[in-house]
Every structure is written in C-alpha cells, then in structure tokens.
Amino acid sequence: MIVRQRVDWKYTAILLLLLLGFVFPAAAEDVPFIQFGDRFHPVPGHGGMVVSQEALASRVGAEILRQGGNAVDAAVATGFALAVTLPQAGNIGGGGFMLVHLAERNETIAIDYREMAPAKAHRNLFLDESGNADAEKSRYSALATGVPGTVAGLVHAQEKYGKLPLRTVIAPAIKLAENGFEISYPLSFSFRYARDRLAANPAASGYFLNADGTAKAVGERLVQRDLAATLKRIANQGADGFYSGKTADLIVIQMSKSGGLIDHDDLAGYRVVERTPVWGRYRNYQVASMPPPSSGGVHLVEMLNILEGWDLESMGHNSADYLHRLIEAMRRAYADRSKYLGDPDFETVPVQALIDKDYAARLREGIATDRATPSSEVAPGLPVPEESPQTTHYSVWDADGNVVSNTYTLNFSYGNGIAVAGAGFLLNNEMDDFSAKPGVPNAFGLLGGEANAIEPRKRPLSSMTPTILFKDGDPVLATGSPGGSRIITAVLQLILNVVDFQMNIAEATAAPRIHHQWYPDTVDAEPGISPDTVARLKALGHEVKTAPWAIGRTQSISRDQSVFQGMTDYRWPGGEAVPAEGVNILQNNP
C-alpha cells in the first residue's frame, strides 16, 4: 500500500524560496507581503515583473527584461505579443493609453494612442433615416472603425523611452505568429463564443476558424503568417510599416470593400499625443492616472476624494455602510462623466474642477448615509452609454524602478469582427464610444453628451484607467483593468483594498466587487457579497442585482521594499504574473 502524505504547498513554496536565497523583508504596514493568515498570495520577484491577461505574452515581456530591456521595452514586446496570442482584445488594429514612470528622471508621462475618427466621419454618422441611433452601424459595420493608434503608440513609446532596438522587441511576437502556438482553453472558448461574428467576415473566418467554419480547438496550433508579415514590416520600418506602404494599402482596400471611411490620408495623419497625467492624493498616497480623452483618471480621483472624508476601514470591508458610500460616490462621478468628458483637443474638459477636494466635499455633503439617492435626483440628467468589457490591461516594472501601466482595446471582443485581408489583424469598433446621439446610451449603457459627439479627427471618450500609485514619491502599485464602464470602479476598489484595508495585491484582487454607473440605476454585485449586506443595501433603497459578468480583470504589480509582487486576476483564466528571473514558485491558481 502506498501512503500519500498531505502536503501544504503554500508553506512548502515559501520554504523553497528561502532555500533558493529569496529574502522576505519585514512587510510594510501599508503593503503587506507574506502573511500566513492570507488566503491568496502574489507571485514574488526581484528583477522586475510582467503581469498580463495571457501567459505567453507575459513570458515574452519577462524575457525582454532578462535581455536587458527596460519596462518600456518589455511593455511594447508584451503589447505586440498580445496582438498574436489574445486576438479578441490584444491588437494592432485598435488603440489605447500608456502610463509610464521613468525612475531616473522621476517623471510620469501619459501616452495617448486612442483611435481617431476618420476625416469623413460626421455627427450623424450612425443615425438612421428617422434620426435614431443605429446600433448595427456603430458596433458591427466598417463605419465603426476608428483610425488605429496601437502601432503608433507602442512604437513611439519604445523609440523614445526604450533601450533595445525595435526589431529585438517585436521579434518574439513575429516568432509566435509565424511558427504558431498551441491554442489554450480560454482562447478556444473565445473563438466558440464569437464564431458567428467571425464567420460573417471571410478574412476573419480564415484567420480564426477552421475551413468548415468550426472554432479551433484546444491544443490546435494557431499560425498567423499574414500577421507575421505585417509585424515584420513594423519591425523594419517602424510606424511607417503600418501607416504607409503595403499594410496601409491593405487597410484601405478592406475599408473600400466593407464600406468603411479610413483612407491613406487618415492613416498618414494619425498622431500620438503625450499628455500630463491626472494627479490626485488619497490618504498618504499620490495617484497618477490617465487624463482625457479617458474619463478613467478624472473619475477615479473624484471618487477617491469623496471617499477620503470617511473612515472606511472602521466600517469593515464590503459592509453595507462601506458599499453604500462607494455606490453614492460612483453615482455622482458617472453623472459628471456623461456631461463633461470628451477629447480635450476639441472640448474644454474641467479636469481641475472635477478633481478638486472642495468639490468632492460638496458632493460628499449631499450623500445621505441612511438612504440611497435615486439617480434621477443627481444632475446632470443624461443616461450613460456602455463600453465593451473586452479590453486588456498589463503592467510592467523593471529593476531600476521604471513602471508601465498600459490598457488597449478593439472595443468589443474581436472589434467589429472584420479582419484586414492579407494583413492578419482585426479592426476596432471604437467609433461606438462616441455619442452617436447625445443622451442615447452606447453598447454598455453609458450616456454621453455634446462633449463626446462625433467629429473628424476626434478621439472618442474611454473608461480605460491605467494607474500608478506612489508613496513618498516612489511607485508602490501599478494596476489597470479591462471591463468597459466597469474599469474605473474595478481599479477604485483594488486601490481601496490595498490602502484602506491593508490587503496584499492578491487578496485585493480576489475580493468581490460592486459597480454602479448612475444609469441604469442598479448596483451590480459579484458573488461573494454577503446576502445580509445585499439585504441592507436594498433596505437603504438600492436596487442590487448579480453582476452579469465579472467586474474587471485587474493586472497588477506592487512593490514592498525589494520584492515585486504580481497578480493576474483569475476572473478570466489564462493570465500570468512572470518575474524577470522567470521563477513562478508561488503562482496562485485558486
């Protein structure tokens, strides 16, 4: 008879780390690391860390760190790798935002590579003959495609702030596309889920489905030679390899065939913009996040300012008193989002007024602690349009203290479902993030006003919230999330979990979340919120329902003295936190 002894793997893993020479400094009061009472533990590292939603891409970024690249090199490599291994959200046909902290210069930069409306776009682009918003046009047609910014943004960041040659940084993505990789369960599931949309476009069907129209299965090899050729042109020519020449010709041909608006002038005219981050202060921390045309940073800081006036810790994590205050802060921030936010190159956005501490105090004074405030009583009174949850975020930190927090997207999963024939990549449907008709919600229920109306060359409003948290001037947390309109509230709660409730980054990620966005006037609650708490919230007047899908999928890194702590959100499988040294001893897969 064989007797198997039960092994406590958590303590065994810690012992292994100690034997391998890892030293765990005493945990800081505000960012604890190893606590034996914790249920979840982050992945530790010493030479840097990469955390993304897809394991192969994380490993690519970690390998670039090992080759001597800095955080920007690793972030760009991860971004191009995700375009190969996570086609539903990773992309070169979309756009996004990157927050970069440069340690040597003690400078934090916001890089805006959001898509732009083509020159032929106009205010009434998505209205039907009766003047009503046509969701099919704004979400699933070629008209929904904005001029892609991803390639310009990643190349701009790498050439200006990276250390390695661009060819070196893109080489792993080219290899993955050319040689292929085994399809994981999450990717196979995604193909099955999107099969009908992909099948409707011949190029997308050819790239991501089998010849008989079925979804590719787990373990099959996904080879993308057209995408490899496109990536090679970018590696050799930089951004010109995408915005001019053969790739640009293929995009314009696809636009012509599919009824889109993008032409060669639109592609040649795309520009990356460096902006000043939105800065706030919460408790003893400094918060840097993305400015407009993202609404994320403004409303993250606005909500933190409101919440700072209460002792949240004393209320208890996810108690009814605590969640009531979160909901009311969310309600007021999303109401402001609907009216004031847009592209700052076209509209005057009152950023400083919205993040002002006195403004937050006035909002806080208007919150009754014993009852819900109906959204109809919170001005402004427009409904709020929806955004796709199929964005992706990744965070990178190197040994020198450089940090990158990057969020990019195609909008919907697989964008509008249209691939560029011969080029191997999907097109975005980000034009749906404009207000097709002010006051009419978008695909995610978010409302928008005049500030986010369609105009040529304008960038649509976004909720993407790449964020870096600092203490005493040093970065201590990098995070962000996909999730459409739920991005901002997911990032908010992760920060509160770390700062107010002293959770390590794994515990902070695992905790159940809620979401409220002003309209619809309902609270989404993840499983795990106590039924008694839900009952109390309902008694206060909140309409609480089970969240229809996970609220965000944060990808985070914190640093406690010399130890990096990475955590991928297991609300969706397939992600990985990879230390630069490549050792993943404490990977937690609950």
- In this prediction, residues 337-348 reach a mean pLDDT of 88
Q: How far apart are CA 273 and CA 252, in angstroms?
A: 24
pLDDT of 440 over the 90 cut: no
Identify the sign of the CA torsion 111, 80, 114, 385. negative
Closest CA to 557 of 525, 580, 585, 540: 580
- Tell me what pLDDT residue 446 has: 53
Q: How far is CA 384 from CA 133, 164, 181, 564, 567, in A?
A: 14, 43, 40, 38, 31
Cα 199 to its chain centre, rounded Å, is 27
pLDDT of 384 over the 60 cut: no
- Tell me what pLDDT residue 484 has: 87
Contact indicator for 417, 411 with CB cutoff of 8 Å: no
Q: How far apart are CA 29 and CA 320, in angstroms?
A: 26
Q: What is the DSSP letter of 184?
A: P
pLDDT of 381 over the 80 cut: no
**% of the chain residues with pLDDT over 70:** 89
pLDDT of 590 over the 80 cut: no
- Tell me what pLDDT residue 443 has: 52
For residue 423, name the pLDDT band (cuts at 50, 70, 90).
very high
Burial class of 25 by CB neighbour count within 10 A (0 to 12, 13 to 18, 19+): exposed
pLDDT of 31 over the 80 cut: no
Contact indicator for 56, 147 with CB cutoff of 8 Å: no
Tokens of 309: 């006036």
- In this prediction, residues 23-37 reach a mean pLDDT of 50
- In this prediction, residues 189-204 reach a mean pLDDT of 96
For residue 254, name the pLDDT band (cuts at 50, 70, 90).
very high
**% of the chain residues with pLDDT over 90:** 81
Q: How far apart are CA 517 and CA 335, in angstroms?
A: 8
- Tell me what pLDDT residue 379 has: 77
Burial class of 346 by CB neighbour count within 10 A (0 to 12, 13 to 18, 19+): middle
DSSP assignments along 218-263, one per residue: TT-EE--HHHHHHHHHHHHHTTHHHHSHHHHHHHHHHHHHHT----
Q: How far apart are CA 195 and CA 440, in angstroms?
A: 29
Structure confidence by residue, pLDDT tens digits, 88-118: 999 999 999 999 999 999 999 999 999 999 9
Q: How far apart are CA 132 and CA 23, in angstroms?
A: 63
Contact indicator for 157, 64 with CB cutoff of 8 Å: no
Catalytic residues: 391
For residue 29, name the pLDDT band (cuts at 50, 70, 90).
very low
- Tell me what pLDDT residue 449 has: 64
For residue 388, name the pLDDT band (cuts at 50, 70, 90).
low
User: Lowest-pLDDT range, 33-37, 192-196, 359-363?
Assistant: 33-37
CA atoms within 13 A on the CB side of 327: 31
Tell me the residue type at 129.
Answer: E
Average pLDDT, the chain: 90
Q: How far apart are CA 448 and CA 442, in angstroms?
A: 8
Contact indicator for 174, 232 with CB cutoff of 8 Å: yes
Please enumerate, as own/partner, the contacts of 499-502 that have beta carbons within 8 Å and a separation of 24 or more: 499/30, 499/282, 499/283, 499/285, 499/469, 500/283, 500/312, 500/313, 501/312, 501/313, 501/317, 502/29, 502/30, 502/31, 502/32
The structure tokens 């600092």 sit at 470
The pTM score is 0.91
Closest CA to 414 of 121, 187, 161: 187
Structure confidence by residue, pLDDT tens digits, 538-578: 999 999 999 998 999 999 999 987 899 999 999 999 999 99
Q: Three-state SS for 537?
A: helix
Structure confidence by residue, pLDDT tens digits, 103-162: 999 999 999 999 999 999 999 998 888 888 898 999 999 999 999 999 999 999 999 999
User: Lowest-pLDDT range, 78-92, 222-236, 557-571?
Assistant: 557-571
Q: How far apart are CA 530 and CA 50, in angstroms?
A: 34
